[in-house]
């Protein structure tokens, strides 16, 4: 039992670390998108098309990642029903790629716009990098086979305790409390392993704040 408790403790620590990293990376992703939009805004009206596509991309991410929440308002974006909740999405990838192409077409006429164009290109590359980090964060960190083996071990442990325990009320109550405690720990592990779903899911606050900043 001590060995299983140690394994569950380590597993809980691992999934909590993965969840915290995913939460942190989503915030950085939102901040990078907002910074890219600000850079394009500073460049001037020539970037209107790129900014519009960036707004559509951000709104599409919100609508597809958090489908149970109110959809973004004030901007057009692709139908979220055609997009995955997590993972790589060709539609959103295409929108962000178009932003990159628009930035590549910029033809700065003076030193100021040359510097701004260089900053926007760097910001776009950072946004692409952050996007892939977020995509990878969404994958489960716990092996299904490991979870099945751990569950099987726990079943054997409690089965052995149940066979040895006296047929009295107090041992039954103690056994029930143990089962509930272990089951709740397994639930937390499984839930934290789904960063964009479940009870502890990452909220859309950072992305919505970024979109609001873009549209102001």
14-33: per-residue pLDDT in tens?
888 889 999 999 999 999 99
**CA separation for the pair 127, 32 (Å, rounded):** 6
- pTM summary value: 0.83
Task: Compute how many other C-beta atoms are within 10 angstroms of the C-beta atom of residue 91.
Answer: 17
Cα torsion 106, 209, 127, 93 to 10°: value is: -90
pLDDT of residue 186: 82
pLDDT of residue 28: 96
Instruction: Give CA separation, 208 vs 62, 69, 110, 214, in Å.
Output: 7, 11, 35, 10
pLDDT of residue 130: 94
Place of tokens 């859309």: 204
**CA separation for the pair 38, 119 (Å, rounded):** 11
Contact 11, 142 (CB under 8 A): yes
Query: Which residue ranges of the chain lie beneath pLDDT 50?
Result: none
Task: Compute how many other C-beta atoms are within 10 angstroms of the C-beta atom of residue 75.
Answer: 18
Tokens for 140? 């489960």
Q: From its phi and psi, is residue 198 left (phi > 0), alpha (psi between -120 and 50) or beta?
A: left
pLDDT of residue 4: 67
**CA separation for the pair 40, 37 (Å, rounded):** 5
pLDDT of residue 21: 92
pLDDT of residue 157: 73
Contact 18, 141 (CB under 8 A): yes
pLDDT 10s digits, 125-165: 999 999 999 998 887 666 677 677 777 777 777 777 776 77
Tokens for 201? 């899911």
Look at residue 107 and give its three-state secondary structure: coil
pLDDT of residue 100: 96
């Amino acid at each position: 039992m001590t060995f299983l408790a140690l394994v569950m403790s380590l597993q809980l620590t691992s999934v909590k670390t993965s969840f915290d990293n995913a939460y942190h990376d989503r915030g950085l992703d939102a901040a990078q998108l907002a910074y890219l939009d600000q850079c394009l805004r500073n460049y001037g009206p020539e970037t209107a098309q790129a900014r519009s596509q960036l707004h559509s991309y951000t709104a599409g991410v919100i609508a597809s990642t958090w489908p149970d929440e109110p959809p973004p308002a004030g901007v057009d974006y692709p139908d979220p029903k055609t997009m995955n909740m997590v993972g790589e999405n060709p539609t959103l990838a295409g929108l962000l790629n178009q932003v990159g192409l628009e930035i590549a077409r910029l033809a700065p006429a003076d030193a100021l716009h040359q510097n701004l164009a260089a900053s926007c290109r760097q910001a776009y590359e950072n946004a692409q990098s952050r996007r892939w980090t977020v995509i990878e964060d969404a994958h489960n960190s716990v092996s299904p086979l490991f979870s099945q083996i751990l569950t099987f071990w726990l079943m054997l442990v409690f089965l052995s305790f149940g066979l040895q325990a006296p047929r009295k009320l107090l041992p039954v109550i103690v056994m029930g409390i143990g089962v509930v405690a272990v089951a709740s720990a397994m639930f937390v592990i499984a839930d934290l392993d789904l960063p964009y779903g479940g009870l502890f899911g990452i909220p859309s606050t950072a992305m919505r704040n970024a979109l609001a900043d873009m549209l102001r």
